[in-house]
Amino acid sequence: MTTGFHSTVTRRTFMKGLGLVATGSAALTSPVFHDLDELVSSSSSGWHRPWYIKEREFENPVLPIDWANQQRAPAWRISPFRYQSSTDPKAANVRDNGLKIATDWIKEKYPDWGKGQEIGFSGLKPGTVRDLALANAVGTISFYDFPGKANKTWYLGLQAAATPETLKIAKWQGTPEENIRMLRAAARFFGAQDLGVTGLTANTKKFVFEEETDKKKWIFGGSEPKETATERYIPDAAQWVISYTNIQSTELTPRQPSALGATATTNAYRHWPQIEVMLKEFLRGLGYYGLSGTSFSAVGPSNPWGLMSGIGEQQRMANVLISPEWGAHVRALSRMPTNLPLAPTPPIDFGAYKFCSTCKICAETCPYGSLSMGGPTSTPPVDQLGAEQAAARSDQAYTGWWVDYRTCAFCGACQGVCPFNSTKDAPIHDIVISTVANTPLFNGFFASMERNFNYGFKDPETWWDMDLPVYGVSPKFTGKVF
């Protein structure tokens, strides 16, 4: 949307245009608007969130899950990356022509992009020399092997912080509510944004990998953490799973699928293990522990934990969770079992799942045609995914959307054009998202507005001349989240 639109359309005019100031049936179906600055604070978790976000019952997200048929799965079988080497003709086409597809896609929208410069590539993502220099600079710094440098594994982390026992003091004792507020404060200090908690129950244990990519099995039980040559244990006392978000650059996200835009993802992944290492050491210093698998957070697929803990909703992009505060900028959603007593946070409903049924902008945008244009489905579609991929994912018993990983180049274009990425600096956006959260009546209209005002993909070249915020995260984006 343009600046003129922001400054000339009043709240009353906008709502009148939607029929929200009428009487009768239109008024009855419209949401009851509160003051746009109103925030609701949960007394149990200290999570300050906008008023229009509705909490649901535990283990009952908007995304329908068939708990009876949900099964634990081995990480290696459901990993999306295994399909990149598939012999399927669709996978081969992306490998052979992916760079050209992405380059043509960008130049169709910005014909002058890279004019007078030679276009190189990083993976299947094209860029100019300075784009690639930035991408490679970020990529050379990896913190993934932190524990390995200290001859440790990711399971318990560095184990370097002094424990209360070594300091000859009592371990931390707090209520579950106090503990989650304390943990959220620490996580935000370390660089995370939001933190939720899922209780480990008979149902949610089904989200824990049966075995990981290194073929070590996750075993429930025991009194203490233990890792052997073939197994990793989640002790009985570890009854909670911590999830936290790690936002990527809000200025680079809409510049995907270029190599420059991809640095938003790379940089976020650079921060992620740092946060996890510090959070584990913090827990150790309190007298507790946090667990990981063969790599950081490798306990189960990320989205289910974010979904169940209220961080966001599943949507058409499927493997990207949408947050009401952060949109589709969420990257590297963590999941860490712990024995620190915590107050679980419930799933939420802010209208994203319903909105995505109508919107389809991400699927229309995908350069590789990897996203479904259809509605939510409870079974992996063989015609879209291929028999092998559909069979491998058949133990994921939800009614939602599925990504065709044979053709997905992980370019991020879908993520960059999501309407929920809009900054919160213009009051009109609060009106839109609060309307979406309360009624799906205007979802088609809002999606059309998004297309007309062209909020999506931005010219990669323009990023270099911006007055950039620190880490590329716009301070206007979050409004009054904190």
How much is the pLDDT for 225?
97
Q: What pLDDT, on a 0 to 100 scale, did the predictor assign at position 428?
A: 66
Name the nearest CA neighbour of 307 among 339, 261, 348. 348
List, in order, residues 6 or more apart from 478 with CB less than 8 Å away: 325, 326, 424
Closest CA to 285 of 198, 154, 170: 170
Q: How far apart are CA 464 and CA 202, in angstroms?
A: 50
Indicate the SS3 state at residue 180. helix
In the beta sheet, which residues pair with residue 377? Answer: 400
Average pLDDT of the residues in 417-429: 76
Q: Which of 83-87, 178-182, 257-261, 314-318 has the lowest mean pLDDT?
A: 83-87
DSSP secondary structure letters along 163-175: PHHHHTSPPP---
pLDDT of residue 482: 33
Instruction: Take residue 225 and report the two structure tokens written for it.
Output: 């953490």
pLDDT in tens, 252-290: 999 999 999 999 999 998 889 999 999 999 999 999 999
Q: Which pLDDT band, with edges at 50, 70 and 90, does 38 fall under?
A: very low
How far apart CA 131 and CA 43 sit, in angstroms, is 46
- Look at residue 427 in the predicted model and tell me its pLDDT: 64
State the average pLDDT for the chain. 86
List strand residue ranges (DSSP E) for 223-297, in order: 231-234, 240-244, 246-247
pLDDT at 314 over 80: yes
Classify strands 246-247 and 330-331 as parallel, antiparallel or unpaired: antiparallel
Distance of alpha carbon 202 from the chain centroid: 25
Of residues 405, 398, 403, the one with CA closest to residue 71: 398
Task: Tell whether the model's pLDDT for residue 2 goes beyond 70.
Answer: no
Show me where the domains of the chain are located.
31-472
In this prediction, residue 6 carries a pLDDT of 42
Q: Provide the CA 170 distance to its chain's centre, in angstroms.
A: 37
Under a CB-based contact definition with an 8 Å cutoff, are residues 258 and 207 in contact?
A: no
d(CA 269, CA 267): 5
| Residue among 186, 189, 295 at smallest CA distance from 242 | 186
User: Of residues 41 and 426, which shows the higher confidence score?
Assistant: 426
Determine the pLDDT at residue 123: 85
Copy the structure tokens of residue 375: 């509605």
Q: Does residue 19 register a pLDDT over 80? A: no
pLDDT at position 103, please? 95
Residue 235, preceding peptide bond in cis (omega within 30° of 0): no
Burial class, 439, CB count within 10 angstroms (exposed 0-12 / middle 13-18 / buried 19+): middle
Lookup: tokens for 203: 């149902």
Closest CA to 144 of 157, 129, 125: 157
Share above pLDDT 90 across residues of the chain, in percent, rounded to a whole number = 61
What are the residues facing 338 on neighbouring strands?
240, 290
- Give the C-alpha separation, 271 to 278, whole Å: 11
Closest CA relative to residue 225, chosen from 339, 301, 148, 305: 339
453 pLDDT higher than 80: no
Q: For residue 302, what are the CA distances in angstroms to 61, 75, 207, 368?
A: 15, 11, 9, 24
Backbone φ, ψ for residue 39 (5° rounding) = -130, 145
Quote the CA–CA distance of 457 and 459 in Å, as a whole number. 7
Q: What are phi and psi of 141, to 5 degrees?
A: -105, 110
**pLDDT reading at 35 higher than 90:** no
Tokens of 136: 């490679």
- The first and second tokens of residue 177, run together, are 């509510």
Give per-residue pLDDT as tens, 113-158: 988 899 999 888 999 999 999 999 988 877 778 888 888 999 999 9
pLDDT per position as a tens digit, 333-386: 889 999 999 999 999 999 999 999 999 999 999 999 999 999 999 988 898 888
